[in-house]
Amino acid sequence: MELYARVRHAVQIQGMSRRAAADQFGIDPRTVAKMLKFSVPPGYVRTKPPFRPKLDAFTGVIDAILAADKDRPKKQRHTSKRIFERLRDEHGFTGGITIVKDYITGWRQRTQEMFVPLAHPPGHAQADFGEAFGVIGGVERKIHFLAIDLPHSDAIFVVAYPAETTEAFCDGHVKAFEFFGGVPQSILYDNTKIAVARILGDGKRQRTRIFSELQSHYLFTDRFGRPGKGNDKGKVEGLVGYARRNFLVPIPAFESFEALNAHLVECCLKRQGDQLRGRDGTIRERLEHDLAVFQKLPAPYDACDKRPGRVNSLSLVRYRNNDYSVPTAHGHQKVLIRGYVHEVVISCEAEVIARHPRSYEREDFVFNPLHYLALLEQKTNALDQAAPLSDWVLPEAFATLRRLLEARMGKNGKREFVQVLRLMETFTLDDVAAAVVDAVERGAVGFDAVKHLVLCRIERRPPRLDMTIYPYLPKAVIATTSAHSYMDLLAGSEAEVTA
């Protein structure tokens, strides 16, 4: 550029001829003419498309292959190398692979999709699920997190779950609305099967029952992007990646999902103090515009998946490929199963008959030993092989009590032991265990004694065991002393003195 300016100054200011300037600066006179024509170097300008004698006859074939690839799976589309091989083998192409690659690169650049910048008024949201890995309770596993973004203010909410399920979808919305303190006017989704049962021919969506319930409760408007077009909800798509890179790196390690979600809430709140590029004010300040047009927050929605079921002959109910126990008194009855994120609740008519921690394994059995004690009281021979009791960890005093009962009462001792276990249907394990320890120490081995001691412990009164009303307790037998026995005793004492 310095030479360019010196040549122009010599000719136009100092009056030097073009030929003299060419000789002095050692350049071609035609170059001097171009320097005088343009004040700055114009760069290389092509006046007509390049001539490709070997490739031009085959560009139509390449265009057709690339156009057809748009409707094919991404992993089965033509590479530049594969197109070159087809041109060579099927169409007699004699050129090299480089000109084919250059043409395909230019074609793909020219046909890339373009987008229109969007404006986002306050009061609207976008939602999507993402995936990451984390360590929960010492076990590395995949976690699924629901991300909700408010495009106007860029305020966000992220919550993690064991799986991307209907109940997680609903629970995430309930928590997000509580976090923001209101309900958005509309929410934009992809075509997740949790919300969309079918896409009809005219492009309308048939909603799922659970999503319709959620929408009816909070009264927000739903919007759906085009299938396979993530850019329709680009804000939340970007949020999924942002949350994974910034909130979940390094791989998080927490004792429970509750602890992980507390961390995520803290991250979302901390981010509200940031001011993003091109925005006037922080995220927290802009969030006020969203909240001003949000709808009022109603009572929380019961975020669960409801399914009918029936109790089988093993007193089990199947939900999501896992079996959960119920009391044997409800065998073969119809029940309603409500699956929450971390709990399964089973009801018969209007009564809740069982609650279990949610299992995300496959073909798992989740037992509550108390559900089977009433049946085991009748079928005591099954006590030692009962699967619901195999993993039931009880204090050592219970095993001691059972040994004493069976030693003194035989088979009836098993039944009496089950009756002691059934006390935990009403009382806590700590109270019953303390009563068992007390009974063993007192030598009052029996159901009635343990029950009496439990009640005394709860009512905080001293135990008074009347042996006449506990026929199964061991008794001390005291015989009446006769006069003959007394005389024998005196005779034995006199003999000892004489000796």
What is the per-residue pLDDT across 154-193, written as a single tens digit (0 to 9) for each?
A: 999 999 999 999 999 999 999 999 999 999 999 999 989 9
| Residue 39: predicted pLDDT | 83
Average pLDDT over residues 68-95: 93
| Residue 199: predicted pLDDT | 86
The CA distance from 127 to 189, in Å, is: 6
Between these two residues, 380 and 480, which has the higher pLDDT value?
A: 380
| pLDDT tops 90 at residue 374 | yes
Average pLDDT over residues 363-380: 95
| Residue 172: predicted pLDDT | 96
Helices and strands per DSSP (H, E), number in the chain: 18, 15
The CA distance from 100 to 177, in Å, is: 54
Report the predicted TM-score, pTM, of the whole model to 2 decimal places. 0.76
| Residue 494: predicted pLDDT | 56
- Best CA proximity match to 151, nearest among 129, 115, 126: 126
| Residue 234: predicted pLDDT | 81
Q: Sorting pLDDT into bands at 50, 70 and 90, what band is 470?
A: low
Mind listing the pLDDT tens digit for each residue in 293-316? Answer: 999 999 999 999 999 999 999 999
Mind listing the pLDDT tens digit for each residue in 394-405? Answer: 999 999 999 999
| Residue 433: predicted pLDDT | 95
Q: Sorting pLDDT into bands at 50, 70 and 90, what band is 41?
A: confident
Residue 124's H or E segment, with its range, is strand 124-136
Residue 353 tokens read as: 């008959």
Residue 271 tokens read as: 């981010």
Q: Is the dihedral of CA 51, 54, 60, 64 positive or negative?
A: negative
* Contact assessment for residue 155 and residue 290, using Cβ atoms and an 8 Å cutoff: yes
**Sole residue written with tokens 């074939």:** 61
| Residue 443: predicted pLDDT | 84
- Best CA proximity match to 405, nearest among 389, 421, 417: 417
Average pLDDT over residues 82-105: 94
Residue 239's H or E segment, with its range, is helix 234-247
Specify the length of the chain in residues: 499
Mean pLDDT (the chain) is 90
